[in-house]
Amino acid sequence: MTSKPLLYTQKWLISFKKEIAGALFLTPETGEVICEYRKRYGMSQEEFGELMDLRRESISRIETGSVTPTFDFARKFINAMALIEAIRVERAQHKEIDVYFLDNLAKELGFNREKLTFMVKVAVESYDRKLVKIQKSLKEIKI
């Protein structure tokens, strides 16, 4: 079986996906890894559940380790985190986000426009919070 060539997924993003996969599959604390990424991007369990098409309770069980995530969940999780990171990078590099590029990247990673809209919100908000923290720490250093 041959897979379609990736037109929008850049090499750095493939490396990022491999990093997440390694973190997920090479540790016995898979749920903790998932929880760390969810928190990294500032999502509640409810929001993350919405993104992953699961109830908040299911997310909680996965994060606490009482339920082992399926392979499909892991694949979707890796792609979701990669897309959110790509949006953050897009936000950092450009004043305006290239919606055409992100829409095509989302399709390539298996997400519809509704999910993309949610991920753009999550990515931009988490990026902006990080930027404010950095700016605050730089002001403190100058004192």
Q: Assess whether pLDDT exceeds 70 at residue 143.
A: no
pLDDT per residue as tens digits for the range 93-106: 877 788 899 999 99
Q: Of 95, 94, 81, nearest to 123 (Cα)?
A: 81
Give pLDDT, residue 115: 95
pLDDT digits (tens, 9 = 90+) for 79-92: 999 999 999 998 88
What does pTM read for this prediction? 0.85
**DSSP structure string for 71-109:** HHHHHHHHHHHHHHHHHHHHHHH-SS--HHHHHHHHHHH
- Give the separation between CA 74 and CA 85, rounded to whole angstroms: 16
Question: How many CB atoms lie under 10 A from the CB of residue 101?
Answer: 13
